[in-house]
């Protein structure tokens, strides 16, 4: 991913202080929010799908991938579709993820969001190259936080951990990596359970008792 691919110019953007994210960990929370993250082919989606199945609740899968004219990417989407139980409901949310969550959230219901990585790409690096300015995508972040905070049902969110390698070339790519890292921190701070997937193995980072 480079500046041309993302259609982004170098921007100055606000840094969210660590204390802002940490304050949620000390709040009294009753929500059921599980955050599953990991690298590519770490098993995060399969683990999240198993958690949704194990909940024994009606499940709605929110897909954030935008369909593009790319055979390889289309094959990936098809693989995910084939693996999901046929009785799960499906919603697509390329930009307004918060709105979709609020629309379908209900007590006794499970929502699986897969994934924040592609959702952020929709905001910053859409196929048409017209990424949102910083104030607008930060507004979407805040709206998603609000929707998750007020959720009445069980929510499972999947995301990638992509910041463990070398610093990427290109200002736009670095912006994407930085913003995904900050978004992951914000969602993890809200979550009652956080799991890191490594080579198909779940590592518990946070439980309800430590929230």
Q: Which residues are catalytic?
A: 80
DSSP state of 125: S
Tokens 């999901």 correspond to: 84
3-class DSSP assignment, residue 75? helix
Q: Is the peptide bond before 115 cis (omega within 30 degrees of 0)?
A: yes
Say which residue the tokens 């399969």 belong to.
Answer: 46
Nearest CA-CA partner of 64 in 159, 178, 141: 159
Q: Could you tell me which residues come within 8 angstroms of residue 158 by beta carbon, excluding any fewer than 6 positions away?
A: 36, 37, 44, 45, 48, 112, 113, 114, 115, 116
């Amino acid at each position: 991913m480079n500046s041309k691919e993302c259609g982004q110019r170098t921007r100055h953007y606000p840094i969210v202080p660590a204390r802002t994210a940490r304050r949620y960990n000390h709040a009294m929370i009753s929500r059921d929010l599980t955050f599953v993250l990991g690298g590519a082919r770490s098993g995060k989606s399969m683990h999240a799908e198993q958690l949704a199945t194990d909940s024994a609740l009606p499940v709605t899968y929110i897909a954030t991938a935008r369909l593009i004219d790319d055979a390889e990417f289309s094959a990936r989407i098809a693989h995910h579709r084939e693996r999901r139980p046929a009785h799960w409901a499906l919603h697509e949310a390329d930009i307004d993820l918060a709105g979709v969550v609020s629309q379908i959230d209900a007590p006794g219901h499970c929502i699986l969001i897969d994934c924040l990585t592609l959702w952020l790409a929709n905001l910053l690096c859409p196929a048409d190259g017209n990424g949102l300015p910083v104030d607008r995508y930060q507004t979407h972040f805040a709206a998603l936080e609000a929707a998750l905070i007020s959720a009445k049902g069980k929510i499972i969110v999947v995301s990638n951990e992509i910041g463990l390698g070398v610093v990427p070339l290109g200002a736009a790519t670095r912006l994407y990596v930085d913003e995904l890292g900050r978004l992951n921190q914000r969602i993890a701070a809200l979550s009652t359970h956080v799991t890191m997937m490594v080579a198909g193995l779940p590592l518990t980072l946070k439980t309800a008792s430590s929230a």
